[in-house]
A = this chain, B = another copy of it.
Amino acid sequence: MPGDHSSKQYDMDLEAIRSKVLLMGGLVERQFNDAIESFRTGNVAQADGVIKGDEEVNRLEVALDDTCSHLIVKRQPAANDLRTVMATIKVITDLERIGDEATKVARSAKNMQERGSTGALNHYESIRVIAANTANLLHDALDAFARLDEKQAARIIAQDEVIDHEFRSIMRSMITFMMEDPRTISAALDTLWVAKALERIGDHAKNIAEYVIYVVEGKDIRHTDYVYTKLDSSI
């Protein structure tokens, strides 16, 4: 069957993997948004939905790794195609862990709701900014991966530092809260765990962005002081 080995069939195989990754990315993004929303509103049913939904994220991880293995055997990819497959294998791991972190946010939302009073602490207000920034970073990372947009990827890598900075600022403010009113300690800790989960999601979004650059430029920029030299002034 010569048609089976044509470049067109190969492209379709690669495209099928990309679509599945984007499907997984879309699901993970929805899990993230639902988790934050459940933390904001205290909607326990929504939090439960996120915890339950993680099973589908996990299923997609296993299925996608398997699809990548099959493609390697069937297509023996080289050069650019192999970079795409390698990057995909790594991105799958990041997406699965983002799913785990979303689940942790949902669990904290449930904990706080079940415990009741949070003293003077408006826990959602404390993480509102970092949550919005992390949501944008995740969305942009998935978008950069979908469009293989190295410029956007470079922007994400630079922005992750902002989230790390926000996390440290939340930590300082939670310490102040706890010292001033020890009744807030449990709620402040839950808020800190949520902030920590968001900071990790930012790290994973950065990882995804680094893999975009690996695919497009063929350069492994992890752990380097990468500066995108084609940046224009709009960034």
Contact = CB atoms under 8 A, between A and B. Distances in A.
Contacts of A83: 69
A86 B89 contact: yes
Interface in A47-106: 55, 58-59, 61-62, 65-66, 68-69, 72-73, 76-79, 82-83, 86, 89-90, 93
A223 interface: yes
Contact of A66 (B61, B68, B220): B220
Nearest to A97: B97
Nearest to A76: B76
A82 B62 contact: no
Interface residues of A, number: 34
Contacts of A178: 178, 182, 185
A217 to B, nearest CB: 15
A175 interface: yes
A44 interface: no
A222 B175 contact: no
B223 A55 contact: yes
A83 B89 CA distance: 13
A189 interface: yes
A91 to B, nearest CB: 11
Given A73-B82, A93-B90, A93-B93, A61 B175 contact: no
Contacts of A59: 223
Residue of A77, A79, A83, A185 ringed by the most chain B CB atoms within 10 A: A185
Given A76-B76, A82-B72, A178-B178, A62 B220 contact: yes
A73 B75 CA distance: 11
A22 interface: no
Contacts of A192: 189
A121 interface: no
10 contacts: A55-B223, A59-B223, A62-B223, A66-B220, A69-B82, A69-B83, A69-B86, A73-B78, A73-B79, A179-B182
Given A59-B223, A66-B220, A73-B82, 9 more contacts: A62-B220, A65-B220, A72-B77, A73-B78, A178-B178, A178-B182, A182-B182, A185-B185, A196-B196
